[in-house]
Chains A and B, each alone.
Chain A
């Protein structure tokens, strides 16, 4: 109870003091009261503190928790959408990047790696000369097929071939020229040769330069062919011999030369050159020997000549020629 007494001060005076409405005498009165007791000082300090801080009431009063909470929730919702949108954008960006990368990849592949292949086919009695991008020339015989890129790859020159052709390959040690022909491969650097894949075998007849010849299955086992040599790939076997046939380019040159050649050896050349089948009734005809040069002559011209030389008779029936004595 004593404590309360100590703090007693005229309400009116205290308020006037706090609101700074007190006059000089009243202030002296308050000071005197303060001196009376330390507790009075503490009391005034506490009241002043409350007085001072009660100003902040205004702040609390002007805070609308509900409306501000809704504002916070709205922002959170908005941010969620933005994040979603950003994720979508990110996804789209990634997707677009992938598409672009793929496109560029395909483009690069097309330009650098994937060959824009050209196919050339020759019909019966048709020959074609093809100039490749590296300057090599391929002369296609009839009934042949060639597949080659418009532009060669960086590291090698590759073509596919069936039939017969004479190839003159430009020399380029950095870019070997590789020919795929009936499961065999002819690899050259610079050379010219005749290539034939007819009658179930591949024949390479060298004219100049050097080539490697191997099968697709066994790339390690190679044969090297030089000028005048013949390589044959037949029934999965590679063989090499000297080319005894001087007329292997007849289809190209139109020239057939025979020197002391037996008719049985002449006949296949003629068959090949003119695309005709001979039927010989008398086997003695086979051993007749001839020395002659056929230069861009028609079949009739040639056969008329043979009739006189060998004293034989020939008859054309369908696609065959029958030779009789």
Chain B
């Protein structure tokens, strides 16, 4: 995955459109998790979000020759998934009513969308950096943030002092903050740059 990042999105997308199946796999690998997390901000349910994004990728594959990207692959994917989610919500709302469904097909980025993208990007960065943390530091941080365990519970479970738990969590936060400082600082700029 790391080496593959050297291939630009532009190159990746063009090669995908030329029928390179591997490029499709690479695009999926690179963007699927982010897009699922992004979709979840609209749909709140993770499994539903997975399904919606998978359906999107099926369409993306089938209509590859009709796709026109004016900005970047990333912004295209984000906006497409956003529209897909909004359409899903709309359909759900009007499911038993004979109403005209307004297709969300917007290419504009509202502040709300922009914020959601920003958050997703940050979350993905956190995820990536957490993976690089020393094993115990990572484990304690996840027990706290993912499993919502109290510091004492973690200490008891791992048979370490509460102080060590606090130190490890604090260490993880410090590393994350330092790694992401640039990202945190320039987050808005980066996001805008992408689009």
Q: Which residues of A contact B (CB under 8 A)?
A: 11-12, 14-16, 19, 21, 43, 46-47, 49-51, 53-63, 65, 68-69, 71-72, 75-76, 79
Contact = CB atoms under 8 A, between A and B. Distances in A.
A16 to B, nearest CB: 7
Contact of B177 (A16, A46, A71): A46
A122 to B, nearest CB: 75
Given A21-B151, A59-B36, A72-B57, A53 B163 contact: no
Q: At the interface, is chain A mostly helix, strand, loop or mixed?
A: helix
Contact of B122 (A15, A47, A49): A49
A62 B54 contact: no
Contacts of A15: 151, 166, 169-170, 173
B58 A56 contact: no
A16 B173 CA distance: 13
A43 to B, nearest CB: 8
In this complex, the member of A12, A72, A79 whose beta carbon has the largest number of chain B beta carbons within 10 angstroms is: A72
Contacts of A46: 177, 180-181, 184
25 contacts: A11-B166, A14-B173, A16-B151, A16-B166, A19-B151, A21-B150, A46-B177, A46-B181, A50-B126, A51-B145, A54-B126, A56-B123, A57-B126, A57-B145, A59-B37, A61-B127, A61-B146, A63-B50, A69-B32, A72-B28, A72-B57, A72-B61, A75-B58, A76-B62, A79-B58
Nearest to B152: A21
B195 to A, nearest CB: 21
B127 A57 contact: yes
A50 B28 CA distance: 26
Contacts, number: 108
Contacts of B171: 11
Contacts of B55: 75
B36 A51 contact: no
B37 A56 contact: yes
Contact of B54 (A16, A47, A75): A75
A132 to B, nearest CB: 63
A217 to B, nearest CB: 63
Given A57-B127, A62-B46, A65-B29, A12 B163 contact: yes
Q: At the interface, is chain B mostly helix, strand, loop or mixed?
A: helix
B170 A11 contact: yes
A26 to B, nearest CB: 12
A50 B123 CA distance: 8
Contacts of A19: 144, 150-151
Interface in B100-157: 119, 122-124, 126-127, 130, 141-142, 144-146, 150-151
A19 B37 CA distance: 24
B69 interface: no
A11 B150 contact: no
A47 B127 contact: no
A61 B144 CA distance: 15
Contact of B28 (A21, A56, A69): A69
B40 interface: yes
A149 to B, nearest CB: 57
Contacts of B19: none
Contacts of B144: 19
Contact of A72 (B54, B123, B151, B170): B54
A222 to B, nearest CB: 68
A57 B130 contact: yes
Given A16-B166, A46-B184, A65-B29, A55 B57 contact: no
A49 B181 CA distance: 11
B130 A54 contact: yes
Contact of B32 (A56, A65, A79): A65
B25 interface: yes
B58 A57 contact: no
Contact of A51 (B28, B173, B184): B173
A76 B61 contact: yes
Contacts of B54: 68, 71-72, 75
B65 interface: no
A129 to B, nearest CB: 72
Contact of A56 (B127, B141, B177): B127
Nearest to A83: B62
Given A19-B144, A59-B40, A68-B32, 13 more contacts: A12-B163, A12-B167, A12-B170, A14-B173, A19-B151, A49-B122, A50-B177, A54-B123, A57-B123, A57-B145, A75-B54, A76-B58, A76-B61
Lowest 5 CB-CB distances: which A-B pairs, in order? A11-B170, A56-B123, A60-B127, A12-B166, A15-B166
